[in-house]
A and B are shown apart, each in its own frame.
Chain A
Amino acid sequence: MIKLEKRPQPSDLWSVATPIVAVLATMIFGGILFAFLGENPFEAIRTIFWDPLFSEFAFYYRPQLLVKGAPLVLIAIGLSLGFRAGIWNIGAEGQYIMGAIFGAAVGLAFYPLDSMIVFPLMILGGALGGWIWAMIPAILKVKFGTNEILVSLMLVYVAEQFLAAASLSFLKNPEGFGFPGSRNLQQYPAAHNAEIFAGSGMHWGVAFAFIAVIFAYVLLNRHMLGFQIRLTGEAPRAARFSGVKPARLILFCLGTSGALAGLAGLFEVAGPAGQITIDFNVGYGFTAIIVAFLGRLHPVGILLAGGLMALTYIGGEIAQSNLGLPAAAIQVFQGMLLFFLLAFDLLTNYRIRFAKREVA
């Protein structure tokens, strides 16, 4: 009989090895899945993990990695702060949308003014939009004890309606021949989130993602607030005994994750997407939840996980177009990754023993 035995100390080895083993297991079982679909598993795995980085067309795919990875990392960093403290913001997608709408609205309000101040104001607007949207579940939780999971999640659908309204009415391009969608910010230089180095994929959102990683690392490891976040997650009663004010923590964690998600939305709308459209959001806010856990809620881990997730996205697209794999198979593949990660995570705190059956 297999028995799980709690380790006296979390294993350092396994907390590092878990993501690696999980990726390997995903490759093996993903390969089996692809084999059942009639593809050569080695080619499929190579297409997903190798081609985006090192194939002959990698010059095109590598910038895409940064473009896809940056919003994931930016949002996941914010989410991880709350998740560490047991505060579950599931509505980053909505905060991302609201950040994009607010930021784009600021930019469009100045159109066609050509000034250095427009883009920084848009950044503030984006952060504010996401922050406001996250403060709704935060304040409701603090004042009335509502469940932030439900409130933040439902606000995603409200934000999607705002997005549709924005593209159809108040942000609609007056010169757009009646088509839904705002002006294209890529054609408004003062508001365009252009690449910092042309052709690199490195736009301001990527820079902010790196800054967020460093900020979160310092906060969690060196600052009292970060210590309180970790303490609350580990032992809520001990946190209150230590003097943590739960309400303050809820407002901070939800507010920060909202602001970061809003920033991600702003950088996307002002850069790669270019305009507010009805189908502007593509699920970064939800995928970021996976990225946060894949990175073990650790800032550096999230950076790596964001890169890995972007890789499976782009590799998955290549596999779809080159090998004709169905999109659902790629999603199953990504789901496997999270599943194995959580499964192997058990080994950090438990060890497996094979023992003969003993009647309890």
Chain B
Amino acid sequence: MSVLLSIKGLTKAYPGVVANDQVSFDIGEGEVHALLGENGAGKSTLVKMIYGLVKPDSGEMTLRGAPYAPPEPSAARADGIAMVFQHFSLFDALNVAENIALGMEDPPPMRDLARRIREVSETYGLPLDPARIVGDLSAGERQRVEIIRCLLQDPKLLIMDEPTSVLTPQEVQILFETLRKLSSEGTAILYISHKLEEIRALCDTATILRLGKNVGTCVPRETTAREMAEMMVGSALQSPERSGRALGEVALEIRGLSAASPSAFGTSLKDLSLSVRKGEILGIGGVAGNGQDELLAVLSGEIVTRGDAVALHGQPVGALGPAQRRALGLLTAPEERLGHAAAPDMSLTENAMLTGAAREGLVGNGFLRWGKAKDFAQRIIEAFDVRTPGPENAARSLSGGNLQKFVIGREVLQRPEVLVVNQPTWGVDAAAAAAIRQALLDLATGDTALVVISQDLDELMEIADNFAALNEGRLTPPRPTAGLTIDEIGLMMGGAHGMEVAHV
């Protein structure tokens, strides 16, 4: 196998942090190469340098032996390098073909383009109608748009950034078939992920980054997931402990709830029912955009419904607002940290006030007790090991993981009767994620009922007692997680959404 892209000593520093430090490795023609590392390990910076979005401070790259230093992404694309980003850059109001044309240097006439889209999508088992409006597509279908956009350029190297975070297990299998077919045709794939089993199933070689440095290379098929995880984290991993618990009476119940989404391209909830008992963790899985945000809003009180649609300890709370529900012990932590769970430009003390006012006694007769709020913020910082100089710092000055610990800690420390969290460890490094999961388990041991909405199925299997899946705003009946197979979970999540395996 000849070398396609060779990277030697790439270094990129930002003020205060070295994102990449002397990173070197080779990608062969047709090789599926994994780039593995925690959040903040420098994976994104590295691929941005390959794709011409960021210029390295030092180091060099060669493409098929020739020096390669793309000044901008269009130059990288001209050299046969394509990238599918983790966050899609698509226009909801345009159709598939229009979106693809927008990303091309000189797009062919729309009719020809639509025909080529159909050809490519059939060859690679990615069915896609060029005339459909992107706003109506599922997350998996949107990803197909991005992939097909890349394939139309006939790339030599395809970079994929965390592609499976929006897919069901069945969709993942189909994507892998597509990638294997591409690889057999000689296209190299640089596959970024922190999901170890996927990498073991798909990749030929893995380069592992930690704190910006290349800490090792391995052949994933011959390495255990645990070994790779420990290379990635740099220390032995601690698994959360769950102790056997007896479940108490029903704490939270939703009965036959339907609610329209407040946003035009959101997902409405349809006839949704669930119940959670004291000490139980109900895990809710599903691909992003299937009603997770709406379910959280319905429970937090941001969307009000019929009074009896949501019951807390048998008492109707569906018509109450967020502050009243909090006072009764129903606490929530939304997915979006900045701007939803926390106000970016306000201090941590003020952000502690944001949800802690009632339960922590931070207000008296309408007047704020800043001293108590600061103490509360300080307690969260200490209990959850939030790395910050102090509670007077603005929320946006914290890294994503630290702010997530603060946001979750703020609710956990208020001794909730019921706690609902959406994506509790999204974008959080492994150590912080383990701490957050442990805190959730400890709450359950203390008789709190928890609803954990997450896309990370491993996480749900690890901490949840029962599992249900959200699919297009409908919730499946919950099943005990013990003994649930990955195939069964995938079917609960809606199976393959009409995808088919690549015609190899």
Contact = CB atoms under 8 A, between A and B. Distances in A.
A145 interface: no
A9 B397 contact: yes
Contact of B322 (A240, A358, A359): A240
Contact of A9 (B301, B324, B394): B394
Given A9-B397, A224-B368, A241 B321 contact: no
Interface stretch (B158-166, B245-253, B352-360, B376-384): B352-360
A222 interface: yes
Interface size class of A (residues with CB under 8 A): 20 to 34
A270 B122 CA distance: 82
A224 B343 contact: no
B341 A238 contact: yes
Contacts of B396: 8
Interface in B333-387: 334, 336, 339-346, 350, 353-355, 357, 363, 366-368, 370
Given A224-B367, A243-B301, A359-B72, A238 B339 contact: yes
Contacts of A224: 357, 363, 366-368
A238 B343 contact: yes
Contact of A242 (B324, B336, B354, B368): B354
Contacts of A222: 367-368, 370
Given A238-B343, A243-B301, A243-B321, A225 B397 contact: no
Contacts of A240: 302, 322
A46 interface: no
A83 B72 CA distance: 41
A3 to B, nearest CB: 12
Q: Which residue among A9, A227, A359 has the maximum number of chain B CB atoms within 10 Å of its CB?
A: A227
A241 B303 CA distance: 10
Contacts of A1: none
Interface in A217-253: 222-225, 227, 230-231, 234-235, 237-243, 245
A10 interface: yes
B55 to A, nearest CB: 6
B354 A225 contact: no
Contact of B368 (A9, A10, A227, A237): A227
A198 interface: no
A13 interface: no
A360 interface: yes
B300 interface: yes
A238 B367 contact: no
A contacts with B: majority SS: helix
Contacts of B353: 227
B354 A238 contact: yes
A225 B357 CA distance: 12
B366 A237 contact: no
A234 B344 contact: yes
Contacts of A237: 336, 339-340
User: Which of B72, B332, B336, B354 is packed against the most chain A CB atoms within 10 Å?
Assistant: B354
Contacts of A234: 343-346
B334 A9 contact: no
A223 B368 contact: yes
B394 A8 contact: yes
B393 interface: yes
Interface string B313-342: 000000001111010000010101001111
Contacts of A241: 300, 302, 322, 332, 334, 340-341, 354-355
Contact of A225 (B324, B334, B336, B366): B366
B307 interface: no
Interface centre among B301, B332, B343, B394 (most CB of A within 10 A): B343
B71 A359 contact: yes
Contacts of A360: 53, 72
Given A224-B363, A240-B322, A231 B343 contact: yes
Contacts of B367: 222-224
Contacts of B368: 222-224, 227
A111 B394 CA distance: 58
Contacts of B71: 359
Contacts of B397: 8-9
A235 B339 contact: yes
Contacts of B326: 243
B334 A231 contact: no
Nearest to A358: B55
A10 B345 CA distance: 8
Contacts of B301: 243
A223 B366 contact: yes
Contacts of A8: 394, 396-397
23 contacts: A8-B394, A8-B396, A8-B397, A223-B366, A223-B368, A224-B357, A224-B363, A224-B366, A227-B368, A231-B350, A234-B343, A235-B343, A235-B344, A235-B346, A238-B340, A239-B343, A240-B302, A241-B300, A242-B323, A242-B357, A243-B323, A245-B321, A359-B72
Given A227-B368, A360-B72, 6 more contacts: A9-B397, A10-B394, A224-B363, A224-B368, A240-B302, A241-B302
Interface of A: 8-10, 222-225, 227, 230-231, 234-235, 237-243, 245, 358-360
Sorted nearest first, the 9 A-B pairs with minimum C-beta distance are A243-B323, A235-B343, A243-B322, A8-B397, A359-B71, A234-B343, A242-B354, A238-B343, A237-B340
